[in-house]
Amino acid sequence: AKRQRRGGTIIFEGAQALEMSRQKAVEEAFLTANLTEEISLFYQPIVDLVSGRCLGFEALARWISLTVGPVSPAQFVPIAEHTGRIGFITRHLLKMALEQAVNWPAGTFLSFNLSANDLTSREGVLRLIAIIEAGQVNPASIVFEITETAVMQDVEQARASVALLRQFGVGVALDDFGTGYSSLSQVHNMPLTKLKIDRSFVQNIETSAASQKIVRSVIALSQDIGLDVIVEGVETEGQAAVLKRMGAEVVQGFLYSEPMPAEMVQFWLEGGQT
Ligand code: C2E
Ligand code: CA
Ligand code: CA
Ligand code: CA
């Protein structure tokens, strides 16, 4: 039995070593990649819970490295941040998204993820605004998603950046709400337009009284202070039914569609299957 246990330890260490060398390989691949060629955007519908109508799409970055294969944005965005390339990537992706969204039906909004680093300077934010000005998409149809964690890195700077974006006319959503440490008072002082409830609260919403209470009160509070709520990560009809009873109005998740390539958006809107 002892030997087996030792064997288990060795296998575990082997897996850890493999994971570490994968991380190293990914970092190396990132530094030599032709990022503008290899990174693309997928789009996930954001829908009206009651009518099922598509209200907008969230752009999600996809990197297929020629050397290490597909790498999730959860893995490469942090690498882009600490190698100082995120600003360049954000601007490149924003230009691409604006080109791809140009033929969407009027009123369909584009939701676009920003990293914490994209909010740290006024100049950086002004460059994003300049890109939107140069594009063909109405700023009122654009929503930037920022995470609670990004806001908390420097609340004052984040507030100034959000204010600047709002002045220009784009919406700003607080992403992954409930997973960070922002207090409601800090959120309240930001000119946000939307809150996105993190999918961790949706996963067990049919069984967890705590998740139900949290989601119900966030929905009520948001409606009170005039914020739109998007509930993320809806995967089952059961979850959708619970959310409907709670008064949720806008949802996103695999139940409606997985993220799809830009070329599929038109087809999907016309009722095609993806
Ligand atoms: P996020 O902004 O919270 O995006 C939602 C993530 O949940 C996406 O993962 C999406 O594919 C996934 N998702 C959507 N519906 C469901 C569902 O029903 N169930 C489950 N299990 N997952 C669902 P993805 O595309 O891998 O992105 C991961 C994270 O990477 C994003 O989380 C976002 O923080 C970051 N990210 C993605 N694209 C960009 C980007 O262009 N720029 C920046 N700065 N970050 C990005
Ligand atoms: Ca997001
Ligand atoms: Ca999210
Ligand atoms: Ca997330």
How far, in Å, from the CA of 184 to the mean position of ligand 1?
24
Nearest atom within ligand 1 for CA of residue 73: 30
User: In which band, very low, low, confident or very high, does the pLDDT at 40 lie, cut at 50, 70 and 90?
Assistant: very high
Ligand 1 neighbours (beta carbon < 6 A): 44, 60-61, 72-74, 77, 93, 113-115, 145, 175-176, 199, 233-235, 253-254, 259
- Identify the pLDDT of residue 187: 74
User: In which band, very low, low, confident or very high, does the pLDDT at 3 lie, cut at 50, 70 and 90?
Assistant: very low
**ipTM of the complex as predicted:** 0.97
What's the mean pLDDT in 18-39?
A: 92
Collapsing DSSP to helix, strand or coil, 210 comes out as: helix
Q: What percent of the chain has pLDDT over 70?
A: 93
Cβ-contact 42, 263 below 8 angstroms: no
Q: Which residue has its alpha carbon closest to ligand 1 atom 21?
A: 233
| DSSP one-letter code for 71 | E
Q: Which mutation among 60, 64, 148, 239 tests ligand 1's pocket best, with the greatest number of atoms within 8 A of CB?
A: 60
Q: Express each pLDDT in 157-201 by its tens digit.
A: 999 999 999 999 999 999 988 887 666 667 778 899 999 999 999
pTM of the model: 0.93
Q: Express each pLDDT in 66-110 by its tens digit.
A: 999 999 999 999 999 999 999 999 999 999 999 999 999 999 999
What contacts 24+ positions apart, CB below 8 Å, involve 163-166? 163/191, 164/122, 164/125, 164/126, 164/129, 165/125, 165/128, 165/129, 166/191, 166/193
User: In which band, very low, low, confident or very high, does the pLDDT at 1 lie, cut at 50, 70 and 90?
Assistant: very low
